[in-house]
Amino acid sequence: MRRALELLRSIACLVALVALGTSVLRAQAPTIARGWRVAPAASIKIHAPSGVLEVVGWGRDSVAISGTLAAGETLFGGGSLTGLKLGAEGTATAGQSRLLVRVPIGSRLVVRSGAANVKVRGVTGSVDVGSAAGDVDVSGELESVTVESISGDVHVAATTPSVRARTTRGRLDIAGRIDEAQLTSVSGPVTVSAQPIGRMRIETVDGRVSVRGRLAAAGSLDIETFGGPVHLKFPVDQRAALDLRASGGDIIGRIAVPAGGASFDLGTAVVRNGTTATLSRSIGGGTGAAPPVTVRTFRGRVTVDAFRPRS
């Protein structure tokens, strides 16, 4: 009994020490809160070397930054009504910065991050995020989205006329209603689940490409990989003009026939010439020009499947 009590006392002491240490550390991290007056559609550039940066649109004509800075980093900021530059600078020696920046909804936003993870939401203007090693997450209804991360992952879930996204080995995950997109990676996988898909071009060297969704009547899909496999998944009633070529790979899958009847083994329509497999065929019913789907891969495999959309 006495032993159990001693053990309980030790655990309580340990918990108290940890809580004390955490609160001391928190107290040491410099807390910041600062604001600037800007125009509703001001250009705002934010720098975040490390940690976490969250940018949120709000209905005020001002910019407010709050949060904590890592030891070694300092806050800077300044500009005019139409243009503002702010953020953290310096090299973090301990801890992590956690910054929340509120900006006018319609502002034009540029973010540059070293290793900071960046999240942008609630902004309707254009957003341009460049990060060396951080993950980037952009969501909302936006004028345009440009995102680049060298080694971080990029996630865009937006309704926007235009998306430009690029990674080297990070993951590109694109969703939403997008009219036009250019997605590029070297070895990072590219996943698109847009609804509908507008004009989209995807390029990668070795990354896996997965596209799932309905291609708009005025849309087009153009995919180019070297060794990355390509997996396309359209609704069963999708109309499209497929033009697929796998130079050293293969083309497989099942799709709906033009009459909309039973599924059809794509492999039977593939023309093979040496190591090159090609397929040119329209799928889905209807009349008039079908949206083109062009895939070129040097070593990868192309798979086309159909899914039954939920009513």
Partner 1 sequence: MTTPPPPESTADSGPGEALRRAIRALPAERTPPADSWAQVQQAMLAAPRDSDAEQPSQRVRTNRRTVRVAMLGMAALLAVVLVSSISRTRRSAGVDPASVLLPEERRDPRVRAVLDETRNWRAASTDSLRSIRWPLEARDAIESALVATETALASARSAVRLDPDDAAARDAIVVLRAKQLLLLQRAMTLLDEI
- Residues near partner 1 (CB under 8 A): 47, 49, 91, 112-115, 130-133, 148, 150-152, 166, 168-170, 186-187, 203, 205-206, 224, 226-227, 245, 247-248, 274, 276, 296, 298-299
Contact at 8 Å (CB) between 49 and 115? yes
Q: Is the dihedral of CA 67, 73, 78, 79 positive or negative?
A: negative
Q: Please, are residues 205 and 187 in contact by the beta-carbon 8 Å criterion?
A: yes
Q: What angle do CA 93, 94, 96 make, to 5 degrees?
A: 110
**Choice between 152 and 198, CB closer to partner 1:** 152
- Minimum Å gap between C-beta 51 and partner 1 is 12
- Inter-residue contact 47 to 69 (CB < 8 Å): no
In whole angstroms, how close is the CB of 70 to partner 1 at the nearest point? 13
List C-alpha distances in Å: 306 to 40, 53, 194, 257: 45, 39, 15, 11
Distance CA(175)–CA(193), nearest Å, equals 5
CB of 64 to partner 1, least distance (A): 23
In the bound state with partner 1, the residue whose beta carbon lies nearer, of 98 and 169, is: 169
Q: Which is nearer to partner 1, 112 or 231 (CB)?
A: 112
Calpha distance 159→25 (Å, rounded): 41
**Segments of 186-288 assigned E as strands:** 190-204, 209-212, 215-225, 230-235, 240-246, 250-256, 263-265, 271-273, 276-283
CB of 7 to partner 1, least distance (A): 43
Work out how close the CB of 48 gets to partner 1 at its nearest, in angstroms, rounded to a whole number: 9
Q: Which is nearer to partner 1, 273 or 311 (CB)?
A: 273
- Residue 71's DSSP bridge partners are 94
Least CB distance from residue 164 to partner 1, whole Å? 11
Nearer to partner 1, 169 or 254 (CB): 169
C-beta of 170: minimal distance to partner 1 in Å? 8
Residue 132 makes CB contacts below 8 A (sequence gap 6+) with 113, 114, 115, 149, 150, 151, 152
Question: Closest approach of Cβ 261 to partner 1, in Å?
Answer: 34
Smaller CB separation from partner 1, 30 or 114: 114
Q: Would you call 60 exposed, middle or buried from its count of C-beta atoms within 10 A (0-12, 13-18, 19+)? A: middle
- Of the pair 148, 173, the CB lying nearest partner 1 is at 148
Q: How far is the CB of 151 from partner 1 (least distance, A)?
A: 4
Distance CA 263, CA 279 (A): 17
Nearer to partner 1, 244 or 283 (CB): 244
DSSP annotation of 17 = H
H-state helical runs in 29-165: none
Of 214 and 296, the one with the shorter C-beta distance to partner 1 is 296
Q: Amino acid identity of 91?
A: T
